Amino acid sequence: MSKSISDLYDHLKKEKGIHTNFKEEMTYSDYLHLDTILTSQHRLSGHHDEMLFIIIHQVSELWMKLILHELTSAIQSIEAGNLSAAFKMLARVSKVQTQIIQAWDVLSTLTPAEYLEFRDKLGKASGFQSYQYRLIEFALGYKSKHILKIYENDQAVHDALIKAYQAPSIYDVSIGALAKAGFPINSDLLDRDYSIVYNGDSTVQAAWEKVYKDVDKYWDLYELAEKLVDIEDWLQQWRFRHMKTVERIIGFKIGTGGSSGVSYLKQVLEHRFFPELWDLRTTL
């Protein structure tokens, strides 16, 4: 036994306060419901690499749950005028996004030949159907009505998506924050149909430009804008890594969910969530 391991054992023996009796106490495993989480990987094939495929997607869904938790609270905080609280939440979203992006690096260790060993077992199931990803898109302002049909078989999920589809996005409430700060924002934007994708407005452009030209005066709004840019930047990097990973594994095949696969993923890269915040980089 090496000296370092021996020293560690000796140290543990001196830790007299370590709890060992959990007959009537909650354990770490109990708190996290590990019995449920760790028994939720059910391979439909006998192939070794299907475990990787399942876990990567499950982990990503857990991270998306946290993103939604933070985005929802951030939207509420901005609406209430509490921008400082929103900043912490949005900063956390950006950090979580980096974790999801890195997940593609792990999945890309799956080769085309390996994936073909179990792809047919997926049937029509596809990441395209992730309702949490759709909720994130809705929270950021990208609303797609036709996509709602996918979820009609699950009433609770469908209802949640309809609610998010009709609710203001984080950019809608940020535009509202500009109006509350005294900027002359087009009044039509402040009571609009939030299910319609926002495409830009000259009064919003002018307001953000003024914020960036007088950072000291409008520091909170400036910080809000940069937090939004961070999130869109990371989301687009996630989308790009998604597209390249799919291309690496299945090329230009049709996705299991029926989408055009790589071609669809390339198209969505063109969408901008917060157009004025990118345009002002050129116009300033």
Please report, in range form, the residues annotated as the binding site for substrate.
53-57, 115, 119, 256
Q: How far apart are CA 270 and CA 61, in angstroms?
A: 24
- The single-letter code of the amino acid at 171 is Y
Which helix (H) or strand (E) is 52 found in, with range? helix 50-79
Using CA atoms of 236, 241, 244, 246 in order, give the dihedral in degrees to the nearest 10. -110
Which residues are part of a known binding site for heme?
Answer: 242
| Residue whose structure tokens are 């354990």 | 27
Q: How far apart are CA 41 and CA 27, in angstroms?
A: 22
| Residue whose structure tokens are 């790589």 | 262
Other CB atoms within a 10 A radius of the CB of residue 136 amount to 20
Which residues are part of a known binding site?
Answer: 53-57, 115, 119, 242, 256
Residues 6 or more apart whose CB falls under 8 angstroms from that of 25 comprise: 19
Q: How far apart are CA 142 and CA 162, in angstroms?
A: 13
- The first and second tokens of residue 127, run together, are 């990441």
Q: How far apart are CA 224 and CA 274, in angstroms?
A: 12
* CA-based nearest residue to 241, from 74, 127, 81, 115: 127
Q: How far apart are CA 137 and CA 192, in angstroms?
A: 18
